[in-house]
A and B are shown apart, each in its own frame.
Chain A
């Protein structure tokens, strides 16, 4: 009997998920539906069930695994050693995101992002009605689209799709026209207006950390007035400069919920390859045909 019940539950769950996915894939970004179902407070009437579980005991069995961060870094190194171009993909498990914004900050510090520039915001919303309330957290990096709307609009060819999947920007070529900002349906690009965090304070925008170089695209960029990347369009590049050294993007390493996965989609055995082929994997604004390289697990 219990087996029947669970089969039924699974079927129900699947139907719900299909509806859910359909909705998810077709809604515009701001109105996305994702995250867990609302949790009920002060609502009674859940039948008591005897739990199904094995007796407790030592946890030796589960001790053999490693942190998924180490696993992914190992895979990343293996991908670099294969001698062929990897196809980078990012997977964000919205069921594990806790809305902490560590990724947003880690990214900003790593790439020395000035005020007004953000590569990976996390949108948080409280949803439902009391007492059925939950939260929805949506990290939103650049989708590194396979058909990127931002690329063809660039009048000077300063942005392109790389073979490894990343959409790059050449800061030295960028003229700061901001066509690409408008073209991106995910609002993934922002402009660097050359501001500093401590402008208007005794720091005068010259605190030691504000004068540090950043290493985007494998180059050392000093932040000086009117020199690139000041005045340029900027966006997430999966920390390309770190990938080259066998290091994961900083949004991945900083994630305290282990909600962000990264790896090579060309390797069928990689963690990300397994995840993106699960039925709960979806992409933002699928209907636009941009073919994002960022997947969401819902």
Chain B
């Protein structure tokens, strides 16, 4: 009954634009009595509100930007989205209702205005006027910058540098899509050939076959390096959908380089790449023409807090980071206060969430897997696992058990002569015939894996929906003379390598902690969430830490259940699902398919390439990972596997953000090593200080993007970043159109100058023009509006006349270079226009609250596939440094290893404190120091020292100390050109840190991003000392002792290592 009343009120009240309901009489009565009368308050009017997406961090909370005379005056949460309200308002809420309700938003989101109106933002192209990193710049015309980058030559002669700088046109070497495709196929054949002599012969054949194109190759003797196009590298920090597609359109499809690398490994790479390994499916691979592991996706799971009764946050700073304070914290505080949820924090540091946690467990850094292995041991011993889930060996069995997913826990694995679980047992091993499986055209033979079903070897068709295989869980036997074990048996043995006490000792915690965790975790059915993040992944053992915790999740089969492990779900904006209305895959008129070994050597087996020359390789190869951020610059500088001529870098700061970031600076200093560096950002930060050209970009309130979502958002969504304020950079002319200077403008101008296909009058297939950024982005909006059904049945409603009017009115402050209603409409056509407006008026597309939950207690948007606990694909590949096979199941490996897998023994050299980092909610890593409102809350950071260690070392609060390590005994940032910044910070003695650890929060201690003076056009632009306060101690983090030019890395999952370095604190002054 109450519910009905409430719903009625909802209709009448807030959603109806309640202020209007304030009747005349009531208002008069108020005027008479209240202290003051309702005054002017234009900020909450629908006509002064635009909807977009925050980018103060990557959570991407949908926002409303409240405008006053064209200036962003206030930012709050968009209330029709699950980020800022729980439950959120319905998608169909009218614009007045939306404007009238504010959703919640974190402090960074609240203060974004200061990122946008930052006095240090650049408006024109900056060109280096001294050596790289000298801090000397001149502003140059946009056209000049484009000309110089395309043509190259002695472009820095005016500062006495007579080098010939590379020109982009010379590296757009191979331009014929057909030839590129043919070469790519030939290279695949070279890689597939195992025999050395035959491989060589194939290379010779390649040179014959492509004799007219050999000058387009980096090295004809190593055709697998690919064409010279690959010597142009595009790397980036924060890049989201839409812009990703635009930039790929340029670099990948039009220019044809294979080198597009993101920053994932600086954030939580191994989390993603363990997810990728665990999500590979044994299925028909059309490219290979056989059944193989395929379709693994770069993703991860998070814990769902909408229904969890118990949650374990491991290395996951849930109140301050990890993609979701605004949308997760209120679920926790509400559920904990009501007694519905208990949660545990596993973190060496007492993060803020311990305020409400049932228990804080502070392990030794890098031992997360030991806790998981201990729990696995206890759970298997006590029989508290979900046997029904685990024994389901394929899809049909999962369906029969009412499970959305299944695992390979019951599959059988062959042990090799050393006892290594090398391969799955296959039908052929037992003399059983292959399965004949229907594929797209005809059938194909599938040498199926095997499980024992009540002792009988049975072929498994993993994807079968008809033939369930329910396997025996613990198998240790010999079949046809082969030693075989089931996957769960292997896991049991791995977990049995230590006693409960042994695992606890490794982690430095109590055995009872492990037993209690395991008991609680297995006491809530599916509603026990595991939430892991970068605290788990950013170690040298990151991949296996993640695998161990996700294996634990599979023991209760919590995937896809409310309160369990869930994945993200987003609406398609590329027209893939509906194959239109703008099917981007087919819109490029002359699409190249880049090939070759990438500069970070990823996704490929070292042994298969023509570069193989034994172990260790010159640098690591990343078979399991991509976007290995820390490897881009050092590899380019070393020229392995080939020299880089032009590096484009966008919205990133590897020098500041990466561990041992000073090595990234060293890589950039010399133009003879990396020929040309072109950067795009809103402010010149610590990294782009070393660029040759910096192009001003549009901030998040001025540009387009499709931000996407995160696993903890169980609703299907797609949020739209769109221009909300007039652009701050200058306006430029490209393809005859005036547009704001931006990354898009730079790429379009380069394309125009070089005459690249895919841009201009006939930029899209079928003759549609691509002359403005909106020609691209609005087609994506149209796809989003159209929905994922071919017949259009999933389209959003059309905007009515009133909405159309508000749409224009709310954008009345935007100049024509941004908002041109006729040009916008033309980009999508009349048929789609009203739906496009409907989506833009709401800042994207968001599913209604109830739709995320299925009746049976699962989430609506399911992973719905196999969860690998045994990784056959990894077992079959080798680490290029050690020559050892990747271990295929969850295991504990000690952390702090070098690139050849050897332990680093700095503690014995007197470096005994384990340095860790964290985020505070008021700061992101590299770009919120411009937010003075945030700095006002905490003006500087400090080095947290545990009470016990402070006493022992004689350190006191406020004392200045220098952070030194084995690879940085001087404790300074080496900035090149003789400049140094010492790593000195203030001690803060805290009880909430595991003894033996020291911690600092990221985001302070800048020397770029407006922190120090720079010279532009001969004039000094003074830096702001507020941005330089505090300490940034990443340069103390361990440089790899083998490679010597890069941080430590997780060789399996690719993560850069943040939490393993041993340091000493030296009092100064």
Judged by a CB distance under 8 angstroms, whether A73 is at the interface is: yes
Q: How far does the Cβ of B996 sit from chain A's closest Cβ, in whole Å?
A: 11
Interface code B319-362, partner A: CB below 8 Å = 1, 0 otherwise? 11000011001100110110000000100001011111111111
* A140 vs B350: C-alpha distance when bound (angstroms): 24
B110 interface neighbour in A106, A135, A168, Cβ under 8 Å? A106
B16-24, B133-141, B397-405: which lies at the A interface?
B16-24
Q: When the two chains form their complex, are residues A241 and B330 in contact, meaning their CB atoms are under 8 A apart?
A: no
Inter-subunit contact A246/B19 (CB<8 Å) = yes
Smallest beta-carbon distance B121→chain A, Å? 10
Interchain nearest-CB distance for B332 vs A (Å): 8
Interface positions, chain A 184-213, Cβ under 8 Å from B, are 197-198, 200-204, 207-209, 211-213
B120 on the A face (CB < 8 A)? yes
B38, A215: Cβ atoms closer than 8 Å = no
Complexed CA–CA distance, A248 and B44 (Å): 12
Task: Label chain A's interface by main secondary structure.
Answer: loop
A207 near B117: Cβ-Cβ < 8 Å: yes
Contact A70 B525 (CB under 8 A): no
- Asked, given contacts A70-B89, A220-B40, whether A110 binds B355 with beta carbons under 8 Å apart, the answer is no
Give chain A nearest CB distance to B479 CB in angstroms.
39
A128: chain B residues within 8 A (beta carbon): 991-992
Which of A36, A128, A137, A201 lies at the interface centre, i.e. has the most chain B CB atoms within 10 A of its CB?
A201
Is A57 at the interface (CB under 8 A from chain B)?
Answer: yes
CB distance from A5 to the nearest CB of B (A): 16
CB contact list, A233-253 vs B, under 8 A? 240-242, 244-248, 250, 253
Segment from B29-37, B151-159, B744-752 that makes contact with A: B29-37
A137 partner residues in chain B, CB cutoff 8 A: 355
Q: How far is the CA of A42 from the CA of B29 in the complex (A)?
A: 61
Which of B86, B117, B354 has the largest number of chain A CB atoms within 10 A?
A: B354
A208:B110 contact, CB within 8 angstroms: no
A221 CB to closest chain B CB (Å) equals 10
The reply to whether A40 and B35 contact each other, CB–CB distance below 8 Å, is no
B354 to A133, Cβ gap below 8 A?
yes
Q: With both chains docked as a complex, state the minimum distance between the C-beta of B997 and any C-beta of chain A, in angstroms.
A: 11
Identify which of B67-75, B231-239, B673-681, B782-790 touches chain A.
Answer: B67-75
Cross-chain contact of A133 among B14, B119, B516, B991 (Cβ < 8 A):
B991
Contact partners of B10 in chain A: CB under 8 A: 66, 70, 74
Tell yes or no: A134 within 8 A of B by CB: yes
User: What residues on B are CB-neighbors of A135 within 8 Å?
Assistant: 350, 352, 354-355
Bound complex: CA of A109 vs CA of B931, how far in Å?
A: 12
Question: Chain A residues with Cβ under 8 A from B921's Cβ?
Answer: 100-101
Given contacts A41-B361, A215-B43, A258-B334, A247 and B38 within 8 Å (CB-CB):
no
Given A201-B120, A202-B120, A208-B71, A51–B39 Cβ distance below 8 Å?
Answer: no
Residues facing B in A129-152 (CB within 8 A) are 129-131, 133-137
In the bound complex, do residue A64 and residue B524 qualify as a contact, i.e. CB atoms below 8 Å apart? no
Contact A258/B333 with A51-B524, A106-B110, A242-B41 known, Cβ cut-off 8 Å: yes
* Residues of chain A within 8 A of B995, CB atoms compared: 130
Docked-complex contact A209 and B113, CB < 8 angstroms: yes
Contact assessment for A59 and B516 in the assembled complex, using a CB-CB cutoff below 8 Å: no
Asked if A255 CB lies within 8 Å of chain B CBs, one says yes
Counting CB contacts under 8 A, is B102 at the interface? yes
Q: List chain B residues, Cβ under 8 A from A127.
A: 991
B119 touches A81 (CB 8 A): no
Whether A209 pairs with B114 at a CB distance below 8 angstroms is: yes
With A42-B361, A218-B36, A256-B106 as given contacts, are A93 and B101 in contact (CB-CB < 8 Å)?
no
Q: Kindly identify which residue among A48, A207, A241 contacts B519, using a CB–CB cutoff of 8 Å.
A: A48
- Indicate whether A223 reaches chain B with its CB closer than 8 angstroms: no
Least CB distance from A76 to B in Å reads 9
B34 close to A133 (CB less than 8 A): no
* Interface-lining segment among B279-287, B614-622, B654-662, B851-859: B851-859
Q: Are B355 and A83 in contact (CB under 8 A)?
A: no
> Given contacts A82-B26, A105-B110, A218-B40, are A246 and B18 in contact (CB under 8 A)?
yes
Complex CA–CA separation, A104 to B1024 (angstroms)? 23
B contact residues around A84 at 8 Å (CB): 29, 33
* A44 interfacial by beta-carbon distance below 8 Å: yes
Residues of A within 8 A of B356 (CB): 36, 95, 98
- The B105-123 residues at the A interface (CB cut-off 8 A) are 105-107, 109-111, 113-114, 117-120
Q: For A70, A162, A217, A248, which residue has the most chain B Cβ atoms within 10 angstroms?
A: A70
Contact assessment for B73 and A43 in the assembled complex, using a CB-CB cutoff below 8 Å:
no
A13 is an interface residue with CB less than 8 A from chain B: no
Cβ–Cβ < 8 Å partners of B336 in chain A: 95
Contact indicator B120/A101 (Cβ below 8 Å): no
A36 x B355 contact (CB < 8 A): yes
**A56 to B922 Cα, complex, angstroms:** 37
Once A56-B563, A130-B993, A256-B106 are accepted as A-B contacts, the answer to whether A245 and B333 lie under 8 Å apart by CB is: no
A231 at the interface (CB under 8 A from B): no
Is A256 touching B855 in the complex (CB atoms < 8 A)?
no
The answer on a CB contact under 8 Å between A104 and B512 is: no
CB within 8 Å for A218 and B1010 given contacts A66-B6, A67-B86: no
Closest CB in chain B relative to A10 CB, distance in Å: 12
Q: Is the CB of B992 within 8 A of A168?
A: no
In the bound complex, residues from chain A placing their C-beta under 8 Å from that of B559 are none
Task: Tell me the minimal C-beta distance from A43 to chain B in angstroms.
Answer: 7
Whether B560 is near chain A, meaning CB under 8 Å from some CB there, is no
Q: In the complex, how many angstroms separate the beta carbon of B853 from the nearest chain A beta carbon?
A: 6
CA distance in complex: A69, B89 (Å) = 11
> How far does the alpha carbon of A162 sit from the alpha carbon of B853 in the complex, in Å?
47
A9 located at the interface, meaning its Cβ lies under 8 Å from any Cβ of chain B in the complex: no
- Asked whether A218 lies within 8 Å of B38 as measured between CB atoms, the reply is yes
Question: Is there a chain A Cβ closer than 8 Å to B663's Cβ?
Answer: no
CA distance A77 to B12 in the complex (A): 11
Q: Report the bound CA distance from A188 to B195 in whole Å.
A: 79
Contact with A along B513-530 (1 / 0, CB 8 A): 101100110011111000
**Contacting residues, chain A, for B1024 (C-beta < 8 A):** 200-201
B107 and A253 within 8 A (CB): no
Q: Mark A51-88, 1 if CB is under 8 A from B, else 0.
A: 10101111110011111011101100110111111000
B929 contacts the other chain (Cβ, under 8 Å)?
no
Closest A residue to B992 using CB positions? A133
Q: How far is the CA of A100 from the CA of B111 in the complex (A)?
A: 13
Interface residue? A219 (CB, 8 A): yes
Contacting pair B29 A70 (CB below 8 A): no
CB proximity to A under 8 Å, residues B568-606: none
* Interface assignment of A39: CB less than 8 Å from any CB of chain B: yes
B562 in the interface, Cβ–Cβ < 8 Å?
yes
Inter-chain contact A115/B932, CB cutoff 8 Å:
yes
Q: Please tell me if the beta carbons of A65 and B519 are within 8 angstroms of each other in the complex.
A: no
Q: How far is the CA of A255 from the CA of B73 in the complex (A)?
A: 19
Listed from nearest, the 6 A-B pairs whose CB atoms lie closest are A218-B39, A203-B119, A44-B512, A162-B35, A244-B38, A96-B333
Give 14 A-B contacts (CB < 8 Å), ordered by A residue.
A41-B359, A43-B510, A74-B14, A83-B26, A85-B30, A98-B352, A106-B107, A109-B75, A129-B991, A134-B354, A198-B119, A215-B43, A253-B102, A257-B333
Beyond the given pairs A69-B104, A109-B75, 7 more chain A to chain B contacts, judged by CB atoms under 8 angstroms and listed by A's residue number, are A81-B26, A85-B34, A95-B333, A127-B991, A129-B991, A137-B355, A258-B104
